[in-house]
Chain A
Amino acid sequence: MGSIKRWIPLIIFVALAGFFLKGLRLDPREVPSPFIDKPAPAFSLPVVGDAAKQFSPADMKGHVWLLNVWAPWCVSCRQEHDFLMQVRQSGAVPIVGLNWKDKDRQAGALLEQAGSPYLAVADDQSGMVGIDYGVTGTPETYVIDKQGIVRFKFIGPMGPQSWHDKIEPKLKELGA
Chain B
Amino acid sequence: MKKAWLFAALLAASAPALAEEARALADDPAIEARLVNLASDLRCLVCQNESLAGSRADLAQDLRREIRTQMKTGKSDQEVIKYLTDRYGDFVLYRPPFKPVTYLLWLAPLLFLAIGATTWFFVLKRRRNNVQPEVDEQQLAAAAKLLEEDQ
Which of B73-81, B84-92, B121-129 lines the interface with chain A? B84-92
**What residue of chain A has the Cβ atom nearest to residue B86's Cβ?**
A34
Q: How large is the interface on A (under 10, 10 to 19, 20 to 34, 35 or more residues)?
A: 10 to 19
- A34–B89 contact, CB under 8 A? yes
Within residues 31 to 67 of chain A, which ones have a CB less than 8 A from any CB in chain B? Answer: 31-34
Given A28-B48, A31-B45, A134 contacting B88 (CB threshold 8 A)? yes
Within residues 27 to 72 of chain B, which ones have a CB less than 8 A from any CB in chain A? Answer: 45-46, 48, 58-59, 62-63, 66
User: Which listed residue, A32, A131, A132, A133, touches B91 by the CB 8 Å rule?
Assistant: A32
Given A31-B88, A31-B89, A34-B85, A137 contacting B62 (CB threshold 8 A)? no
Consensus secondary structure, chain B interface: helix
Consensus secondary structure, chain A interface: loop
- A34–B48 contact, CB under 8 A? no
Q: A78 contacts the other chain (Cβ, under 8 Å)?
A: no
- B45–A136 contact, CB under 8 A? yes
- A134–B48 contact, CB under 8 A? no
- A134–B58 contact, CB under 8 A? no
- Nearest CB on B from A19, distance (A): 12
**What residue of chain B has the Cβ atom nearest to residue A38's Cβ?**
B86
- B87–A132 contact, CB under 8 A? yes
**What residue of chain A has the Cβ atom nearest to residue B63's Cβ?**
A131
- B59–A136 contact, CB under 8 A? yes
Residue contacts A-B, CB under 8 angstroms, 7 given: A101-B58, A127-B59, A127-B62, A131-B59, A131-B87, A133-B87, A137-B59
Residues of B whose CB lies within 8 Å of any CB of A are 45-46, 48, 58-59, 62-63, 66, 85-89, 91
